[in-house]
Structure 1
Amino acid sequence: MDLDLYKSELCLTDNAPIRLLSARGVRITCTAGLVWLTVEGEAGDIFLAPGQSHLVRGRGLGLLEAIGGGRVRFDKAGRPMWVPLLVGVRRLWHGWRPCSPPGVPVA
């Protein structure tokens, strides 16, 4: 089954794990029940209750399963808030030129 890991929701059943390939950068949010997640390259297993989420950082295979029954939402994680700020500051810095009094050339 191919899943769109960006802006979709999935109902999970007990003892039916879902394989997640190329899930790096996806935020998984539990919307109902209790879910278990493990991702190759990330330390430990993750258990999510309703309202809790996890950002997948590992590049390896991920397994997602409900304990009992559950539901999850997948969202593509955006850049942290400070990244656009740094980009803007960098553009300002590169465009900066020293000011000089009128009639005096800039060195």
Structure 2
Amino acid sequence: MPRLSVGDTAPDFTLSNQDGKSVTLSEFKGQRVVVYFYPAAMTPGCTTEACDFRDSLSALSAAGLVVLGISPDKPEKLKKFAEKEGLNFDLLSDPDKSMMEEWGAFGEKKNYGKVV
């Protein structure tokens, strides 16, 4: 599936968060939601990204934005990640990568014109 573009309707999902609770995107209808995908909790790049969202969350919330992070990690690992880094937003588990694929955030990547 191609990546989403501005104006596209985001595919709905229900995924478990770091506490094992179900979070459904459509529950946020009428709100602006930042959904970001990352490959693995507790890796250097993903930690930097998550901490940037953590550090910016008050400004994002003041602007009316909700942040949701999605990775293939299981909720138990996400909980450890959230606790270790003091993350203050939901981290969602997509272990079969179905949402990542549907949103166009996972699959074949091209690097310098070559599929990697």
TM beyond 0.5 = no
TM-score normalised by length of structure 2: 0.23
Structure having the larger proportion of residues in strand? 1
Larger Rg: 1
